[in-house]
């Protein structure tokens, strides 16, 4: 076992060399490998594409079944379900609130810690990455009594508002926001920038908003987009704490009118995919620009 794990001492069988001596054999082996790669790629592409295509197909299936014509009825009927529209709006509001508030909580703290209390940086990193190891389904169990208190102190009119989920969602996005902001801050000279601004008489708020923030703009955007994507797809916490967001609403609706539910699912998925894909394109252009 130890010999296998230590590549330096892995025994190489020495014998009469046969394989790569003849160029023709080599070329045939390369061609065979190319064919294998193409076959595998097609298989993987099919596995990943079929469920997505099926989702689109299902949401546009007409009354005549699969062989009948296409119908956009499912998409058009979305507006006929006010609860569903309300849930979509709630999810969008939650996405904005979560991304803005998580940045407002993290950025000042992380800048402050870099400048003044670097001995806390390990603790903050540990706390921010903790949600990666504690499953959301476990956190929900702990959040349930806390949300009873939150409900107790909110005015009756707002008690069922899903916006209360913001508290939990900020925790869920912590690891992703932390990593992106940390990378952003590591790329600039926070100390020099802030000391220059401070010596010119800038307040801490000015330093944060007008000096640091513009310099880590791409990282902030990155963190915000990841938060939005996570919140739009969140189901676990909302459904178990009895709040209705878009995922919960469309899950409830799937028994009743699957065409509409699948149309909303397709739309939310397309939105998230588009956001994440644009993000990866943008970040690649940046890395290429900085390396050249």
Question: Minimum Å distance from CB 272 to other proteins?
Answer: 8
Q: Which of 35, 50, 89, 186 binds other proteins (CB under 8 A)?
A: 50
35 binds other proteins (CB under 8 A): no
| Residue 94 and residue 170 in contact, taking contact as beta carbons nearer than 8 Å | no
Residue 196 to residues 115, 116, 158, 256, Cα–Cα distance (Å): 13, 16, 46, 62
At 265, list the tokens: 């699912």
63 binds other proteins (CB under 8 A): no
Question: 14 in helix, strand or coil?
Answer: coil
Which residue's CB is nearer to other proteins, number 21 or number 157?
21
| From 77-85, 88-96, 166-174, 183-191, span contacting other proteins (CB under 8 A) | 166-174
Which residue's CB is nearer to other proteins, number 93 or number 125?
125
| Residue 125 and residue 196 in contact, taking contact as beta carbons nearer than 8 Å | no
| From 71-79, 107-115, 155-163, 180-188, span contacting other proteins (CB under 8 A) | 107-115
Name residues contacting other proteins, limited to 260-289 (CB under 8 A).
261-262, 265, 268-269, 272-273, 276-277, 280-281, 284
201 binds other proteins (CB under 8 A): no
Question: Minimum Å distance from CB 238 to other proteins?
Answer: 10
* Separation CA 62–CA 66 (nearest Å): 7
* Separation CA 20–CA 203 (nearest Å): 70
At 48, list the tokens: 């990943």
Name residues contacting other proteins, limited to 3-32 (CB under 8 A).
4-7, 10-20, 29
Which residue's CB is nearer to other proteins, number 72 or number 138?
138
144 binds other proteins (CB under 8 A): yes
Angle at 240 between CA 237 and CA 244, to 5 degrees: 75
| Residue 282 and residue 220 in contact, taking contact as beta carbons nearer than 8 Å | no
Task: Give Cα 51 distance to the centre of its chain.
Answer: 20
* Separation CA 292–CA 290 (nearest Å): 6
Question: Minimum Å distance from CB 201 to other proteins?
Answer: 16
Which residue's CB is nearer to other proteins, number 210 or number 284?
284
53 binds other proteins (CB under 8 A): yes
Q: Which of 27, 28, 31, 33 binds other proteins (CB under 8 A)?
A: 33
* Separation CA 189–CA 111 (nearest Å): 11
The site for other proteins, by CB under 8 A, has a size of 89
72 binds other proteins (CB under 8 A): no
**3-state SS string for 196-217:** HHHHCCCCHHHHHHHHHHHHCH
Question: Minimum Å distance from CB 5 to other proteins?
Answer: 6
């Amino acid at each position: 076992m130890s010999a296998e794990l230590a590549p330096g001492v892995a025994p190489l069988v020495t014998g009469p060399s046969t394989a790569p001596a003849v160029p023709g054999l080599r070329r045939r082996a390369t061609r065979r490998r190319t064919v294998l790669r193409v076959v595998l790629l097609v298989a993987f592409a099919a596995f990943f594409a079929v469920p997505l295509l099926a989702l689109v197909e299902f949401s546009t299936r007409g009354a005549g079944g699969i062989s009948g014509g296409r119908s956009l009825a499912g998409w058009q009927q979305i507006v006929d379900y006010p609860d569903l529209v309300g849930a979509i709006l709630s999810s969008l509001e939650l996405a904005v609130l979560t991304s803005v508030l998580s940045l407002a909580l993290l950025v000042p703290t992380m800048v402050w810690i870099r400048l003044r209390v670097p001995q806390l940086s390990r603790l903050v990193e540990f706390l921010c990455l903790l949600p990666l190891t504690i499953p959301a389904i476990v956190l929900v169990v702990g959040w349930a009594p806390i949300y009873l208190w939150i409900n107790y102190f909110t005015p009756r009119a707002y008690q069922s508002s899903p916006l209360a989920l913001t508290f939990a969602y900020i925790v869920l996005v912590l690891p992703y926001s932390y990593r992106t902001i940390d990378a952003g801050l590591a790329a600039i000279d926070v100390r020099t920038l802030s000391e220059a601004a401070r010596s010119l008489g800038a307040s801490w708020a000015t330093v944060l908003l007008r000096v640091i923030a513009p310099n880590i703009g791409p990282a902030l955007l990155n963190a915000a987009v990841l938060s939005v994507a996570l919140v739009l797809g969140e189901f676990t916490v909302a459904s178990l704490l009895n709040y209705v967001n878009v995922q919960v609403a469309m899950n409830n609706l799937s028994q009743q009118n699957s065409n509409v539910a699948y149309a909303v699912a397709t739309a939310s998925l397309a939105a998230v995919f588009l956001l994440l894909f644009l993000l990866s394109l943008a970040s690649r252009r940046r890395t290429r620009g900085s390396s050249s």
